[in-house]
Homo-oligomer: A and B are copies of this chain.
Amino acid sequence: MNNFRFCVGTDILFGKNQLKNLPKAMQVYGKKVLLVFGGGSIKQSGLYDKLLFELKDFEIHELSGVEPNPRVETVRKGVEVCREKGIEVLLAVGGGSTIDCAKAIAAATFYEGDAWDMVLNAADGSIGKTLPVCTVLTLAATGSEMDSAAVVSNLETREKLTIINSGLLPKCSVLDPENTFSVPEAQTAAGSVDIMSHVMEVYFGSEKTFLTDRICEALLKTVIQFAPIALEEPRDFEARANLMWASSLAINGLCNAGKAHDWSCHYIEHELSAYYDITHGVGLAIVTPQWMRYVLNENTVDKFATFAVNVWNVDEKLDKFEQANEGIKCLESFFKKLAIPMTLSEVNIGETHFEAMAKHAVKHTGLNKYSYVLLNEKDIVAILKMCL
């Protein structure tokens, strides 16, 4: 077990009608609010009206139209409003993209240069003071409601990069499973893949972390149990509730306590969505099983076998490699059952940019230095070809 720091003070208000407790939790940060949201879905669902009713004592400004894979242009727009209006607290209402956009705005408001500059230099301390961010989650997926990270895209430079800073951790998050009842099938499926991916990215590692691994398995089993139910019956409260809480716990530090970083599949997928703007969860579902097959070897087989037995109930009597391969097959079948496209060809992506993507991935991440199984440019191209 490696040393670790765990400090996640987000005030989680979980359950039905928790919106009514938001004003009290939020008012300590100020009254001038920038409400950040995406398309019209929160207006259609009635959440927007409910929000305005609960927040009638606040001064509300709006930034709408945050796109999936939020773009730096939108962040810049938000920064402008925050500075002009003297915004005191950001309220992100939506899924991970909306929350990530709000986080980036929270930091960039106090950054003197351009927002993309801040993103590029985040690892070198470009993020200082931040505005407080609160969230109302409407999609179980990224875990951004309870973590300190945000992912921002720049379509111009074809980059999708992650910033991490303790100031980005939401102060308060309202998690009402009913706010996810109206999430469409495809997004429910992609979100479920995203949750599982966050767990698997850290589950596969070489450290001995018994407790952390068992918690990872608990989360994986939860998504396996409830994602199909949520697809079948979108208004099933228990299914939505379990997926929602799993989303938050998957990436708040609990699943990598005592472990090193990995995130190989995320880094590869970020290239796909930077180049093709595909849904993050879909990209992960395509990449993950092929990454697993590529890195399965004498050194890693024990972990993959444990994954197969503990998560997928694969027969313990099989040989280790058989167990491992059976586990990967189970994962693939599960993703297929969620009706997710499982090859790049199905989402119209060819090999044109594979070399450039591999080069960029290696340059901007620790793929060839710190991963569970080190990956250089050649390896990444090979994995991407397996995904075709």
Contact between A237 and B11, CB atoms less than 8 A apart: no
Q: Does A13 sit within 8 A of B, measured CB to CB?
A: yes
Contact between B1 and A5, CB atoms less than 8 A apart: no
A222 to B10, CA, bound (A): 27
Candidate in A14, A214, A226 with the most chain B CB atoms within 10 angstroms: A214
Q: Does A9 sit within 8 A of B, measured CB to CB?
A: yes
The stretch among A120-128, A238-246, A280-288 that forms the contact with chain B is A238-246
Q: Does A16 sit within 8 A of B, measured CB to CB?
A: yes
Give residues of chain A (168-214) contacting chain B, Cβ–Cβ below 8 Å.
177, 208, 210-212, 214
Give residues of chain A (134-165) contacting chain B, Cβ–Cβ below 8 Å.
none
Q: Which residues of B contact A14 (CB under 8 A)?
A: 3-6, 257-258
A33-60 CB mask vs B (1 if < 8 Å, else 0) is 0000000000000000000000000000
A254 to B212, CA, bound (A): 14
Range for the number of chain A residues in contact with chain B: 35 or more
Contact between B3 and A12, CB atoms less than 8 A apart: no
A6-33 CB mask vs B (1 if < 8 Å, else 0) is 1111111111111000000000000000
Q: Which residues of B contact A208 (CB under 8 A)?
A: 238
Partner among B7, B219, B242 whose Cβ is within 8 Å of the Cβ of A11: B7
Take A215-B218, A217-B218, A226-B210 as given contacts and tell me if A7 and B12 are in contact as well, using a CB distance cutoff of 8 Å: yes
- Minimum CB–CB distance from A213 to chain B (whole Å) comes to 8
Q: Which residues of B contact A214 (CB under 8 A)?
A: 217-219, 221-222
A95 to B21, CA, bound (A): 35
A212-239 CB mask vs B (1 if < 8 Å, else 0) is 1011011101100110000000000110
A104 to B241, CA, bound (A): 36
Give residues of chain A (70-117) contacting chain B, Cβ–Cβ below 8 Å.
none
A257-286 CB mask vs B (1 if < 8 Å, else 0) is 110000000000000000000000000000
A218 to B2, CA, bound (A): 19
- Minimum CB–CB distance from A16 to chain B (whole Å) comes to 6
Q: Which residues of B contact A2 (CB under 8 A)?
A: 15
Contact between B12 and A9, CB atoms less than 8 A apart: no
A13 to B12, CA, bound (A): 22
- Minimum CB–CB distance from A313 to chain B (whole Å) comes to 11
Q: List 13 A-B contacts (CB under 8 A).
A: A1-B237, A2-B15, A3-B18, A4-B15, A6-B14, A9-B9, A14-B257, A14-B258, A208-B238, A210-B222, A210-B242, A212-B245, A214-B218
Q: Which A residues fall within an 8 A CB radius of B?
A: 1-18, 177, 208, 210-212, 214-215, 217-219, 221-222, 225-226, 237-238, 241-242, 245-246, 249, 254, 257-258
Other A-B pairs beyond A1-B238, A6-B12, 5, CB < 8 Å:
A5-B13, A210-B242, A211-B242, A212-B245, A254-B254
The 3 A-B residue pairs with the shortest CB-CB distance in the complex, in nearest-first order: A9-B9, A3-B15, A214-B218
